[in-house]
Amino acid sequence: MDYIEVVDRYVQLRVEEFIAPVVWRSGGNLFELVVAVVLSQNTSDKNAFKAFNSLKRALGSITPEAVAKLAEEELAALIKPAGMYRIRARALKALAEAFLKHGITPQRLLEMGAERARAFLMSLPGVGKKTADVVLVNIGLPAFPVDTHITRIARRWGIGRSYDEISRWFMDRLPPARYLEFHLKLIQFGRDVCRARSPRCGVCPIGERCPSFKSAGRSPVI
């Protein structure tokens, strides 16, 4: 049973719902991409879009220089729609300083290659594995970020439990050029069908072939 093939055929990707590719593909700079990813941590893309657009309206272009100049309270007020805005404002200020200090550019990351670029991004304040991988895969380096939806789906499919295990499972089975698209499709599948609380096993294209399939009224294993 090829879960990848089934989900790939079933999901019609609505890329406009995902903040990172929208920001990057609309000509955003690398810092804007990182800001977008930080704003979408632990909240919906909808809220992240609101916070990002509010910051963009205030600054024009979101650059490390502009964010470094903003007072932390001012920044927090602008990104309030994303929630946890004080913590995020502090993280963004630290990231702006790090960008200014290291002169980080997409070209530099591409030249480093995925492994070194990932280690470098993870050395920046507030950047964990997932944030680093989202940045990498959006700029075209091979990475497969694993978010909460993908973790849940992978566990229900029984293909792995840890971030690294799950990420590797998909990377081993997909061509690198498809990592980003399939990562987004899986998240959309998790939002629409294999939902956290009430998975729609009855309409799922994997259905009874899934080890966690449960008929109506029973929750699958997480």
Which residues contribute to the site for ligand SF4 (CB under 6 A)?
Answer: 156, 193-194, 199-201, 204, 206-207, 210, 212-213, 220
HSE at residue 52, side-chain half, CA atoms within 13 A, is 25
Distances (CA, A) of 1 to 162, 183, 205: 22, 19, 12
DSSP H helices, the chain, are 3-10, 19-25, 30-39, 45-59, 64-69, 72-78, 85-102, 106-112, 114-122, 129-139, 148-157, 163-173, 179-192
The least distance separating ligand SF4 from the CB of residue 171, rounded to whole angstroms, comes to 20
The least distance separating ligand SF4 from the CB of residue 13, rounded to whole angstroms, comes to 17
If the CB atoms of residues 145 and 199 are measured against ligand SF4, the closer one turns out to be 199
If the CB atoms of residues 140 and 205 are measured against ligand SF4, the closer one turns out to be 205
If the CB atoms of residues 127 and 210 are measured against ligand SF4, the closer one turns out to be 210
The least distance separating ligand SF4 from the CB of residue 153, rounded to whole angstroms, comes to 6
| CA proximity to 200, closest of 182, 181, 180, 218 | 218
Q: Contact at 8 Å (CB) between 38 and 88?
A: yes
The least distance separating ligand SF4 from the CB of residue 4, rounded to whole angstroms, comes to 12
If the CB atoms of residues 125 and 211 are measured against ligand SF4, the closer one turns out to be 211
